[in-house]
Amino acid sequence: MTASDRLHALGVAELVDGYATGRFDPVDVVDGLLAELATIDHEAHGVVTVAADVARRGAEASARRWAAGEAGPLEGVPFGVKDNLATAGIRTSLGSERWADWVPERDAEAVARMRAAGAVLVAKTATPELAFGDARPGHRPTNPWAAEHWTGGSSSGSAVSVASRILPVALGTDTGGSIRVPSSYCGVTGLKPTRGAVPTDGAAVVSWTLDHVGCIGRSAADLGTVLDVLRGAPGHRRDGVAGLRIGRPMAWFHERVDDDVRQATDAAVAVLEGLGATSTEVEVPDPDLGGIAAWVITVCEFAESNADWRDHLGRYTPASAERLVAGASLGAGDYLRARRVRRDLRERVGQLLEQVDVLVTPGTPTAAPRVVPPLDDLWGDGDRLWLERVARSFILFNLLGLPAVVVPAGFTADGRPVAVQVVGRAGEDDLVLSVAAAFQAATAHHRAAPGTVTLTAAPAPTTDAEKGGRMGP
Protein backbone atom coordinates (compact mmCIF):
# COMPACT_ATOMS: atom_id res chain seq x y z
CA MET A 1 0.00 0.00 0.00
CA THR A 2 1.66 3.24 -1.14
CA ALA A 3 1.21 6.65 0.43
CA SER A 4 -0.92 7.76 -2.52
CA ASP A 5 -3.27 4.84 -1.89
CA ARG A 6 -3.87 6.11 1.66
CA LEU A 7 -5.47 9.43 0.82
CA HIS A 8 -8.22 8.41 3.25
CA ALA A 9 -5.63 8.79 6.02
CA LEU A 10 -5.89 12.57 5.55
CA GLY A 11 -8.18 14.61 7.78
CA VAL A 12 -11.43 16.28 6.76
CA ALA A 13 -9.93 19.68 5.97
CA GLU A 14 -7.06 18.14 3.99
CA LEU A 15 -9.44 16.03 1.93
CA VAL A 16 -11.74 18.93 1.12
CA ASP A 17 -8.76 21.09 0.17
CA GLY A 18 -7.41 18.33 -2.09
CA TYR A 19 -10.76 18.01 -3.85
CA ALA A 20 -11.17 21.77 -4.22
CA THR A 21 -7.71 22.17 -5.77
CA GLY A 22 -8.13 19.17 -8.06
CA ARG A 23 -5.17 17.19 -6.68
CA PHE A 24 -7.39 14.12 -6.29
CA ASP A 25 -11.08 13.30 -6.25
CA PRO A 26 -13.48 11.27 -4.07
CA VAL A 27 -13.22 8.22 -6.34
CA ASP A 28 -9.43 8.09 -5.79
CA VAL A 29 -9.92 8.29 -2.04
CA VAL A 30 -12.71 5.75 -1.74
CA ASP A 31 -11.06 3.28 -4.12
CA GLY A 32 -7.91 3.35 -2.01
CA LEU A 33 -9.91 2.98 1.20
CA LEU A 34 -11.89 -0.01 -0.11
CA ALA A 35 -8.71 -1.63 -1.40
CA GLU A 36 -7.16 -1.38 2.05
CA LEU A 37 -10.30 -2.67 3.75
CA ALA A 38 -10.08 -5.74 1.49
CA THR A 39 -6.69 -6.62 2.97
CA ILE A 40 -7.13 -6.05 6.73
CA ASP A 41 -8.83 -7.67 9.69
CA HIS A 42 -12.08 -5.69 9.83
CA GLU A 43 -12.87 -6.49 13.46
CA ALA A 44 -9.40 -5.46 14.66
CA HIS A 45 -9.80 -2.11 12.90
CA GLY A 46 -13.27 -1.44 14.29
CA VAL A 47 -15.25 -2.15 11.11
CA VAL A 48 -18.36 -4.36 11.24
CA THR A 49 -19.82 -3.91 7.74
CA VAL A 50 -18.23 -2.50 4.61
CA ALA A 51 -20.79 -0.72 2.40
CA ALA A 52 -18.66 -0.98 -0.74
CA ASP A 53 -21.36 -0.45 -3.38
CA VAL A 54 -22.90 2.44 -1.44
CA ALA A 55 -19.45 4.00 -1.03
CA ARG A 56 -18.55 3.72 -4.72
CA ARG A 57 -21.84 5.27 -5.80
CA GLY A 58 -21.43 8.02 -3.24
CA ALA A 59 -17.87 8.77 -4.36
CA GLU A 60 -18.92 8.97 -8.02
CA ALA A 61 -21.78 11.31 -7.17
CA SER A 62 -19.43 13.49 -5.11
CA ALA A 63 -16.93 13.70 -7.95
CA ARG A 64 -19.73 14.90 -10.26
CA ARG A 65 -20.81 17.56 -7.75
CA TRP A 66 -17.22 18.82 -7.38
CA ALA A 67 -16.95 19.05 -11.16
CA ALA A 68 -20.25 20.92 -11.36
CA GLY A 69 -19.36 23.38 -8.61
CA GLU A 70 -22.08 21.98 -6.35
CA ALA A 71 -19.95 20.51 -3.54
CA GLY A 72 -21.36 20.31 -0.04
CA PRO A 73 -19.32 21.08 3.10
CA LEU A 74 -18.26 17.43 3.50
CA GLU A 75 -18.31 16.53 -0.18
CA GLY A 76 -16.44 13.28 -0.78
CA VAL A 77 -15.27 12.79 2.80
CA PRO A 78 -15.53 9.09 3.79
CA PHE A 79 -17.15 8.40 7.14
CA GLY A 80 -18.15 5.53 9.39
CA VAL A 81 -21.28 5.06 11.46
CA LYS A 82 -21.54 3.32 14.82
CA ASP A 83 -23.63 0.21 14.41
CA ASN A 84 -26.40 1.47 16.70
CA LEU A 85 -27.31 4.25 14.24
CA ALA A 86 -29.74 3.25 11.50
CA THR A 87 -28.45 3.19 7.91
CA ALA A 88 -30.93 2.71 5.08
CA GLY A 89 -30.39 -0.55 3.24
CA ILE A 90 -27.29 -1.40 5.30
CA ARG A 91 -27.31 -3.92 8.14
CA THR A 92 -27.52 -2.29 11.56
CA SER A 93 -26.98 -5.01 14.16
CA LEU A 94 -26.68 -2.91 17.37
CA GLY A 95 -23.95 -5.39 18.30
CA SER A 96 -26.75 -7.78 19.27
CA GLU A 97 -27.72 -11.31 18.31
CA ARG A 98 -31.34 -10.24 18.47
CA TRP A 99 -30.88 -7.49 15.87
CA ALA A 100 -28.15 -9.17 13.84
CA ASP A 101 -30.13 -9.16 10.57
CA TRP A 102 -31.93 -5.81 10.84
CA VAL A 103 -31.74 -3.68 7.69
CA PRO A 104 -33.42 -0.30 8.31
CA GLU A 105 -35.46 1.46 5.67
CA ARG A 106 -34.32 4.93 6.70
CA ASP A 107 -31.12 6.59 7.85
CA ALA A 108 -30.80 8.00 11.33
CA GLU A 109 -31.15 11.78 11.09
CA ALA A 110 -27.45 12.36 11.82
CA VAL A 111 -26.48 9.93 9.05
CA ALA A 112 -28.91 11.57 6.64
CA ARG A 113 -27.42 15.00 7.35
CA MET A 114 -23.89 13.72 6.73
CA ARG A 115 -24.90 12.21 3.41
CA ALA A 116 -26.84 15.34 2.39
CA ALA A 117 -23.64 17.34 3.01
CA GLY A 118 -21.79 15.10 0.55
CA ALA A 119 -20.03 12.76 3.00
CA VAL A 120 -19.60 9.20 1.70
CA LEU A 121 -20.78 6.38 3.95
CA VAL A 122 -18.23 3.57 3.81
CA ALA A 123 -18.58 1.40 6.91
CA LYS A 124 -20.50 0.55 10.05
CA THR A 125 -18.29 0.50 13.15
CA ALA A 126 -18.25 -1.80 16.15
CA THR A 127 -20.29 -1.34 19.31
CA PRO A 128 -20.92 -3.60 22.28
CA GLU A 129 -24.49 -4.84 22.48
CA LEU A 130 -27.01 -1.98 22.34
CA ALA A 131 -24.10 0.33 23.29
CA PHE A 132 -24.63 -0.81 26.88
CA GLY A 133 -23.81 -4.52 27.11
CA ASP A 134 -20.91 -6.83 26.39
CA ALA A 135 -19.01 -6.85 23.12
CA ARG A 136 -19.96 -9.87 21.00
CA PRO A 137 -17.57 -11.58 18.56
CA GLY A 138 -17.17 -9.38 15.51
CA HIS A 139 -17.44 -6.24 17.62
CA ARG A 140 -14.14 -6.42 19.53
CA PRO A 141 -11.65 -4.05 17.91
CA THR A 142 -8.00 -3.86 18.91
CA ASN A 143 -6.39 -0.75 20.37
CA PRO A 144 -4.02 0.31 17.57
CA TRP A 145 -1.53 1.76 20.06
CA ALA A 146 -1.22 -1.34 22.23
CA ALA A 147 -2.99 -4.53 21.24
CA GLU A 148 -3.17 -5.92 24.78
CA HIS A 149 -4.89 -2.80 26.08
CA TRP A 150 -8.57 -1.86 26.05
CA THR A 151 -10.16 0.36 23.39
CA GLY A 152 -12.88 1.65 25.70
CA GLY A 153 -16.50 1.79 24.65
CA SER A 154 -19.08 1.92 23.50
CA SER A 155 -18.10 3.92 20.38
CA SER A 156 -15.06 1.67 20.24
CA GLY A 157 -15.15 0.88 16.53
CA SER A 158 -15.50 4.54 15.56
CA ALA A 159 -12.48 5.53 17.67
CA VAL A 160 -10.33 2.64 16.45
CA SER A 161 -11.16 3.18 12.77
CA VAL A 162 -10.18 6.85 13.05
CA ALA A 163 -7.06 6.15 15.14
CA SER A 164 -5.97 3.48 12.64
CA ARG A 165 -6.23 6.05 9.83
CA ILE A 166 -8.85 3.93 8.09
CA LEU A 167 -11.50 6.68 8.26
CA PRO A 168 -11.07 10.44 8.72
CA VAL A 169 -14.24 10.77 10.80
CA ALA A 170 -16.94 8.56 12.30
CA LEU A 171 -20.22 9.06 14.12
CA GLY A 172 -20.73 7.73 17.63
CA THR A 173 -23.12 7.97 20.57
CA ASP A 174 -22.38 8.96 24.15
CA THR A 175 -24.64 8.22 27.14
CA GLY A 176 -22.06 8.14 29.91
CA GLY A 177 -18.72 8.67 28.18
CA SER A 178 -19.02 6.39 25.16
CA ILE A 179 -17.39 8.77 22.69
CA ARG A 180 -14.87 10.27 25.09
CA VAL A 181 -13.59 7.05 26.72
CA PRO A 182 -12.47 5.33 23.47
CA SER A 183 -11.21 8.66 22.10
CA SER A 184 -9.04 9.04 25.21
CA TYR A 185 -7.72 5.49 25.03
CA CYS A 186 -7.14 5.56 21.26
CA GLY A 187 -5.57 9.02 20.90
CA VAL A 188 -8.24 10.76 18.82
CA THR A 189 -10.52 13.77 19.25
CA GLY A 190 -14.09 13.06 20.35
CA LEU A 191 -17.04 15.45 20.72
CA LYS A 192 -20.21 15.02 22.76
CA PRO A 193 -22.33 18.02 21.77
CA THR A 194 -24.89 19.81 23.91
CA ARG A 195 -27.84 17.52 24.56
CA GLY A 196 -30.38 18.12 21.77
CA ALA A 197 -28.00 19.97 19.44
CA VAL A 198 -27.78 16.89 17.23
CA PRO A 199 -30.94 14.81 16.68
CA THR A 200 -30.94 11.30 18.14
CA ASP A 201 -33.70 10.07 15.80
CA GLY A 202 -32.71 6.67 14.46
CA ALA A 203 -30.23 5.90 17.23
CA ALA A 204 -30.98 2.84 19.37
CA VAL A 205 -32.08 4.20 22.74
CA VAL A 206 -30.03 3.56 25.85
CA SER A 207 -31.36 6.53 27.82
CA TRP A 208 -33.63 9.00 26.06
CA THR A 209 -32.62 11.83 28.41
CA LEU A 210 -28.84 11.14 28.43
CA ASP A 211 -28.11 9.88 24.90
CA HIS A 212 -26.08 12.15 22.62
CA VAL A 213 -25.00 11.69 19.00
CA GLY A 214 -21.53 13.05 18.32
CA CYS A 215 -18.41 12.47 16.28
CA ILE A 216 -14.81 11.30 16.43
CA GLY A 217 -12.06 12.65 14.19
CA ARG A 218 -8.43 13.72 13.90
CA SER A 219 -8.85 17.28 15.17
CA ALA A 220 -11.22 19.73 16.80
CA ALA A 221 -11.17 21.81 13.62
CA ASP A 222 -12.43 18.82 11.62
CA LEU A 223 -15.12 18.11 14.20
CA GLY A 224 -16.28 21.71 13.99
CA THR A 225 -17.02 21.22 10.30
CA VAL A 226 -18.86 17.98 11.06
CA LEU A 227 -20.82 19.57 13.92
CA ASP A 228 -22.08 22.33 11.63
CA VAL A 229 -23.55 19.61 9.41
CA LEU A 230 -24.96 17.51 12.24
CA ARG A 231 -26.78 20.40 13.91
CA GLY A 232 -27.89 21.91 10.63
CA ALA A 233 -26.37 25.35 11.16
CA PRO A 234 -22.93 26.95 10.79
CA GLY A 235 -20.97 27.68 13.94
CA HIS A 236 -19.26 30.83 15.15
CA ARG A 237 -15.94 29.65 16.53
CA ARG A 238 -13.43 32.12 17.88
CA ASP A 239 -9.77 32.46 16.99
CA GLY A 240 -7.65 31.70 20.04
CA VAL A 241 -8.30 31.72 23.78
CA ALA A 242 -6.96 35.11 24.86
CA GLY A 243 -9.02 36.44 27.76
CA LEU A 244 -10.91 33.20 28.43
CA ARG A 245 -11.39 32.02 32.01
CA ILE A 246 -10.57 28.35 32.54
CA GLY A 247 -11.91 26.52 35.58
CA ARG A 248 -9.83 23.57 36.82
CA PRO A 249 -12.02 21.13 38.78
CA MET A 250 -9.95 19.45 41.47
CA ALA A 251 -10.92 16.96 44.22
CA TRP A 252 -13.06 14.24 42.56
CA PHE A 253 -11.65 14.99 39.10
CA HIS A 254 -8.07 14.44 40.26
CA GLU A 255 -8.63 11.49 42.59
CA ARG A 256 -7.68 8.07 41.22
CA VAL A 257 -5.93 9.82 38.34
CA ASP A 258 -2.57 8.48 37.20
CA ASP A 259 0.43 10.79 37.28
CA ASP A 260 0.73 10.70 33.47
CA VAL A 261 -2.80 12.02 33.09
CA ARG A 262 -2.44 14.59 35.86
CA GLN A 263 0.78 15.92 34.34
CA ALA A 264 -0.78 16.07 30.88
CA THR A 265 -3.71 18.06 32.28
CA ASP A 266 -1.35 20.50 34.02
CA ALA A 267 0.64 20.88 30.82
CA ALA A 268 -2.50 21.49 28.74
CA VAL A 269 -3.66 24.26 31.06
CA ALA A 270 -0.18 25.78 30.90
CA VAL A 271 -0.36 25.79 27.09
CA LEU A 272 -3.72 27.58 27.19
CA GLU A 273 -2.37 30.09 29.71
CA GLY A 274 0.55 30.71 27.37
CA LEU A 275 -1.99 31.55 24.68
CA GLY A 276 -3.62 34.19 26.86
CA ALA A 277 -6.21 32.35 28.97
CA THR A 278 -6.33 32.51 32.75
CA SER A 279 -7.10 29.58 35.06
CA THR A 280 -8.41 29.08 38.54
CA GLU A 281 -9.14 26.01 40.63
CA VAL A 282 -12.85 25.35 41.12
CA GLU A 283 -15.02 22.84 42.91
CA VAL A 284 -17.73 21.09 40.91
CA PRO A 285 -20.65 20.24 43.23
CA ASP A 286 -21.26 16.55 43.99
CA PRO A 287 -19.92 14.90 40.82
CA ASP A 288 -20.07 11.50 42.56
CA LEU A 289 -23.76 11.94 43.31
CA GLY A 290 -24.29 13.06 39.73
CA GLY A 291 -22.72 9.87 38.48
CA ILE A 292 -25.02 7.73 40.61
CA ALA A 293 -28.08 9.70 39.48
CA ALA A 294 -27.01 9.30 35.86
CA TRP A 295 -26.64 5.55 36.30
CA VAL A 296 -30.09 5.20 37.89
CA ILE A 297 -31.69 7.19 35.08
CA THR A 298 -29.79 5.23 32.44
CA VAL A 299 -30.74 1.73 33.61
CA CYS A 300 -34.37 2.74 34.23
CA GLU A 301 -34.73 4.23 30.76
CA PHE A 302 -32.79 1.36 29.19
CA ALA A 303 -35.25 -1.17 30.63
CA GLU A 304 -38.23 0.91 29.56
CA SER A 305 -36.94 1.49 26.02
CA ASN A 306 -36.47 -2.29 25.65
CA ALA A 307 -39.82 -3.06 27.24
CA ASP A 308 -40.15 -6.55 25.73
CA TRP A 309 -36.79 -7.69 27.09
CA ARG A 310 -38.28 -10.42 29.28
CA ASP A 311 -39.45 -12.26 26.18
CA HIS A 312 -35.91 -12.29 24.77
CA LEU A 313 -33.69 -12.37 27.86
CA GLY A 314 -31.71 -15.40 26.71
CA ARG A 315 -30.58 -13.57 23.59
CA TYR A 316 -28.89 -10.70 25.44
CA THR A 317 -25.30 -10.66 26.65
CA PRO A 318 -24.84 -10.92 30.44
CA ALA A 319 -24.18 -7.20 30.98
CA SER A 320 -27.25 -6.15 28.97
CA ALA A 321 -29.39 -8.64 30.88
CA GLU A 322 -28.06 -7.45 34.24
CA ARG A 323 -28.77 -3.82 33.42
CA LEU A 324 -32.24 -4.57 32.09
CA VAL A 325 -33.08 -6.43 35.29
CA ALA A 326 -31.56 -3.63 37.39
CA GLY A 327 -33.55 -0.97 35.60
CA ALA A 328 -36.80 -2.88 35.94
CA SER A 329 -36.13 -3.50 39.63
CA LEU A 330 -35.84 0.17 40.54
CA GLY A 331 -39.01 1.96 41.54
CA ALA A 332 -40.54 5.19 40.30
CA GLY A 333 -39.30 6.89 43.46
CA ASP A 334 -35.68 6.03 42.64
CA TYR A 335 -36.07 7.40 39.14
CA LEU A 336 -37.75 10.60 40.29
CA ARG A 337 -35.15 11.20 42.99
CA ALA A 338 -32.39 10.84 40.39
CA ARG A 339 -34.14 13.38 38.19
CA ARG A 340 -34.38 15.78 41.13
CA VAL A 341 -30.65 15.41 41.68
CA ARG A 342 -30.12 16.30 38.03
CA ARG A 343 -32.30 19.40 38.33
CA ASP A 344 -30.39 20.53 41.43
CA LEU A 345 -26.96 19.89 39.90
CA ARG A 346 -27.92 21.62 36.68
CA GLU A 347 -28.61 24.78 38.67
CA ARG A 348 -25.48 24.52 40.83
CA VAL A 349 -23.10 23.70 37.99
CA GLY A 350 -24.74 26.44 35.95
CA GLN A 351 -23.82 28.91 38.70
CA LEU A 352 -20.22 27.68 38.58
CA LEU A 353 -20.09 28.18 34.81
CA GLU A 354 -21.12 31.79 35.27
CA GLN A 355 -17.73 32.32 36.94
CA VAL A 356 -15.62 30.65 34.23
CA ASP A 357 -15.94 30.15 30.48
CA VAL A 358 -14.92 26.49 30.25
CA LEU A 359 -13.75 23.66 32.48
CA VAL A 360 -10.60 21.65 31.71
CA THR A 361 -10.43 18.21 33.31
CA PRO A 362 -8.46 15.01 32.82
CA GLY A 363 -9.84 12.66 30.18
CA THR A 364 -9.97 9.07 31.37
CA PRO A 365 -8.14 8.77 34.72
CA THR A 366 -5.67 6.32 33.18
CA ALA A 367 -4.33 5.43 29.79
CA ALA A 368 -5.90 2.34 28.22
CA PRO A 369 -5.72 -0.50 30.80
CA ARG A 370 -4.49 -3.96 29.93
CA VAL A 371 -7.15 -6.53 29.12
CA VAL A 372 -7.10 -10.29 29.09
CA PRO A 373 -9.79 -12.07 27.02
CA PRO A 374 -12.55 -12.97 27.40
CA LEU A 375 -13.79 -9.43 27.83
CA ASP A 376 -17.01 -10.61 29.54
CA ASP A 377 -15.32 -11.58 32.81
CA LEU A 378 -12.77 -8.86 33.46
CA TRP A 379 -14.44 -6.93 36.25
CA GLY A 380 -16.47 -8.19 39.16
CA ASP A 381 -18.41 -4.92 39.41
CA GLY A 382 -18.02 -3.29 36.03
CA ASP A 383 -20.73 -0.69 36.63
CA ARG A 384 -19.05 0.73 39.72
CA LEU A 385 -15.63 0.71 38.09
CA TRP A 386 -17.06 2.48 35.04
CA LEU A 387 -18.23 5.27 37.33
CA GLU A 388 -15.13 5.40 39.51
CA ARG A 389 -12.21 4.42 37.27
CA VAL A 390 -13.16 4.98 33.64
CA ALA A 391 -15.80 7.67 33.05
CA ARG A 392 -15.53 9.65 36.30
CA SER A 393 -14.66 12.85 34.38
CA PHE A 394 -17.41 12.34 31.83
CA ILE A 395 -20.72 11.03 33.09
CA LEU A 396 -21.78 14.15 35.03
CA PHE A 397 -21.78 16.11 31.77
CA ASN A 398 -24.11 13.59 30.16
CA LEU A 399 -26.46 14.05 33.09
CA LEU A 400 -26.38 17.82 32.58
CA GLY A 401 -26.30 17.74 28.77
CA LEU A 402 -23.24 20.01 28.53
CA PRO A 403 -20.90 20.03 25.51
CA ALA A 404 -17.59 18.26 26.07
CA VAL A 405 -14.64 17.41 23.82
CA VAL A 406 -11.70 15.10 24.54
CA VAL A 407 -8.34 15.86 22.89
CA PRO A 408 -5.06 13.89 22.91
CA ALA A 409 -2.64 15.47 25.38
CA GLY A 410 0.42 13.22 25.52
CA PHE A 411 1.60 9.68 26.12
CA THR A 412 2.63 7.37 28.91
CA ALA A 413 6.21 6.15 29.12
CA ASP A 414 5.23 3.06 27.13
CA GLY A 415 3.48 5.06 24.43
CA ARG A 416 -0.24 4.87 25.28
CA PRO A 417 -2.26 8.06 24.66
CA VAL A 418 -3.65 10.21 27.47
CA ALA A 419 -6.20 12.99 27.04
CA VAL A 420 -7.82 16.07 28.52
CA GLN A 421 -11.45 17.20 28.36
CA VAL A 422 -12.89 20.67 27.73
CA VAL A 423 -16.46 21.32 28.95
CA GLY A 424 -18.65 24.36 28.36
CA ARG A 425 -22.06 25.83 29.03
CA ALA A 426 -25.09 24.35 27.30
CA GLY A 427 -25.18 25.57 23.71
CA GLU A 428 -21.57 26.76 23.69
CA ASP A 429 -20.21 23.88 21.64
CA ASP A 430 -18.30 26.31 19.43
CA LEU A 431 -16.41 27.75 22.38
CA VAL A 432 -15.45 24.27 23.58
CA LEU A 433 -14.18 23.40 20.10
CA SER A 434 -12.34 26.72 19.87
CA VAL A 435 -10.40 25.98 23.04
CA ALA A 436 -9.59 22.47 21.81
CA ALA A 437 -8.52 23.79 18.40
CA ALA A 438 -6.27 26.42 19.99
CA PHE A 439 -4.60 23.74 22.09
CA GLN A 440 -4.11 21.52 19.04
CA ALA A 441 -2.69 24.40 16.99
CA ALA A 442 -0.03 24.81 19.68
CA THR A 443 0.75 21.10 20.16
CA ALA A 444 1.20 18.00 18.01
CA HIS A 445 -0.25 15.19 20.15
CA HIS A 446 -3.26 14.73 17.86
CA ARG A 447 -1.02 14.34 14.80
CA ALA A 448 0.75 11.25 16.16
CA ALA A 449 -0.37 7.99 14.61
CA PRO A 450 -0.01 4.44 15.95
CA GLY A 451 3.45 3.19 15.17
CA THR A 452 5.05 6.62 15.52
CA VAL A 453 5.47 6.36 19.31
CA THR A 454 7.66 3.58 20.70
CA LEU A 455 5.87 1.05 22.90
CA THR A 456 7.71 -0.87 25.60
CA ALA A 457 6.52 -3.82 27.63
CA ALA A 458 3.96 -2.82 30.27
CA PRO A 459 3.64 -4.69 33.57
CA ALA A 460 0.79 -7.14 33.96
CA PRO A 461 -2.18 -5.82 35.96
CA THR A 462 -2.07 -6.57 39.65
CA THR A 463 -5.58 -5.50 40.68
CA ASP A 464 -9.03 -5.57 39.11
CA ALA A 465 -8.96 -1.78 38.92
CA GLU A 466 -5.95 -1.96 36.57
CA LYS A 467 -7.68 -4.29 34.15
CA GLY A 468 -10.04 -3.41 31.33
CA GLY A 469 -13.71 -4.25 31.54
CA ARG A 470 -17.17 -4.35 30.14
CA MET A 471 -18.08 -1.70 27.68
CA GLY A 472 -19.98 1.16 29.27
CA PRO A 473 -22.69 3.48 27.98
Strands 120-125 and 47-50: antiparallel
CA distances to 134, 209, 326, 426 from 173, rounded to whole Å, are 16, 13, 22, 18
Known catalytic membership, residue 155: no
What letter does residue 205 receive in the DSSP assignment? Answer: P
CA atoms of 142 and 149, how far apart (whole Å): 8
Sheet holding 358-362, edge to edge: 47-50, 120-125, 78-82, 169-174, 212-217, 189-192, 404-411, 417-424, 358-362, 245-249, 278-282
Q: Which of 62, 93, 96, 154 is catalytic?
A: 154
User: CA 294, CA 464: separation in Å to the nearest integer?
Assistant: 24
Asked if residues 418 and 261 have their Cβ atoms less than 8 Å apart, the reply is: yes
50: number of Cβ within 10 Å: 18
Give the whole-angstrom CA distance, residue 31 versus residue 76. Answer: 12
82 is catalytic: yes
SS3 420: strand
CB atoms within 10 A of CB 381: 12
Nearest-angstrom CA–CA distance, 423 and 405? 7
178 catalytic? Reply is yes
* CA-CA-CA-CA dihedral for 184, 186, 188, 194, to nearest 10: -40
In 221-312, DSSP assigns E strands to 245-249, 278-282
**Set 82, 124, 192, 467: catalytic member:** 82
Beta bridge partners of 203: 85
Catalytic residue among 93, 155, 178, 434: 178
Would you please indicate which residues are annotated as catalytic (active-site) residues?
A: 82, 154, 178
